[in-house]
Structure 1
Amino acid sequence: MEKSLKDLNAIKEVKDANLLSPLVLAYMGDCVYEIYVRKYLICKYGNIKVNDMHKKATNFVKAKAQAMAVMALKEELDEAEWAIVKRGRNQKSCSMPKNAQASDYRYATGFETLIGYLYLNGLEEKLEAVIEKSIELIENQIQ
């Protein structure tokens, strides 16, 4: 029997995010990270053109930036969190952006896997700490 959007339990919680595939976690992590980046940019720049906002957002969501961030955060992650990054990094994906190096793309997938894992497990404090530090690291590299 399929669950519908009316079934709030299907929306509110995932029974065991640890059992989800790394690419499913990365799928969620990509979305969550994008929301935080957009909120950050709106708070920082306010009412600028949406196209300009999108251009700024790409600096934060591109594979090279995410790979740099997750590598810089390695020492701040516990063993279980780094294991999640490695699970995501080691997944085979059907596609890879033409403007990304393979190693950057793999670590970016690991980063997104970590974000999805933290989000779906309700680890909000750690999630926000990882995202805030990542945005700070990327922002400093852009300037």
Structure 2
Amino acid sequence: MAQREVDNKKDILSIGSKELAYLGDSVYEVNIRKTLIRLGIRGVKDLNKMSMNYVSALYQADIFSFLKDYFTEEEMKVALRGRNTKIKHSSKSVNISTYRLATALECVFGYLYLLDDTDRIKELMDKIFEYKKAEVI
């Protein structure tokens, strides 16, 4: 398989939504963990329990529905591509439409990470934790 480096916005937009979601899944999760620690949550057991709530497909779908009004036009295009990705299977705990929304959110985080837009990732993370602040404290 021929490989070439992805180094500009046009190249990043040409990456498949499954690949963006694959990367975005880990970007999202590590930023959730980082934010929980920065908020003062301590103890691996508590951190694990809280982070698992934030990274579930059901929660990600809820977050996507909340964040979509904050997405830029470009981010929304990436999200819609992710949402429309052909998915052969999903988690047994959620339906396919919920899984698609979670995939859309992951695509946005993968896209932003490849753009090296850490400020935007942090901005969206702040929105997520403002939205569900009561669940953190």
Common fold by TM > 0.5: yes
Q: Which residue of 1 aligns with 2:30?
A: 35
Q: Please report the RMSD computed on the Cα atoms of aligned residues, expressed in angstroms.
A: 2.4
Report whether the alignment pairs 1:109 with 2:78.
no
Aligned in 2, Cα 1:63/1:39: closer, same or farther, shift over 3 Å?
same
C-alpha distance in structure 2 between counterparts of 1:138 and 1:85, whole Å: 21
Paired letter, 1:33: Y
Q: Which amino acid aligns with 1:14?
A: V
Q: Among residues 121, 124, 129, which one is paired with 1:127 in the alignment?
A: 121
Gaps of 5+ in 1: 4-9
Deviation sequence 1:15-53 (CA, Å, 0-9, x none): 2211110110111111111111111222234431x2332
CA distance in 2, matches of 1:67, 1:31: 16
Q: CA deviation at 1:121?
A: 1.2
How many Å apart are 1:99 and its aligned residue? Answer: 0.8
Partner SS for 1:53: helix
In structure 1, distance between residues paired with 2:134 and 2:63: 11
Contact 1:33 1:112 in 2 (8 A): yes
Regions of 4+ moved over 3 Å: 138-143
TM-score, scaled relative to structure 2:
0.84
The answer for the alignment partner of 2:85 in structure 1 is 91
How far, CA to CA, are the matches of 2:33 and 2:87 in structure 1?
26
TM-score of the superposition, structure 1-length normalised?
Answer: 0.81
Given that 2:41 and 2:47 are in contact with CA atoms closer than 8 Å, whether structure 1 keeps it comes out as no
2:6 partner amino acid: V
Identity %: 35
Give runs of aligned pairs for residues 1-143 of structure 1, distance below 5 A.
14-15=6-7, 16-48=11-43, 50-140=44-134
Q: Which whole-Å CA distance do the structure 1 matches of 2:103 and 2:111 have between them? A: 12
Structure 2 residue ranges without an equivalent (≥5) = none
| Alignment-mate amino acid for residue 69 of structure 1 | I
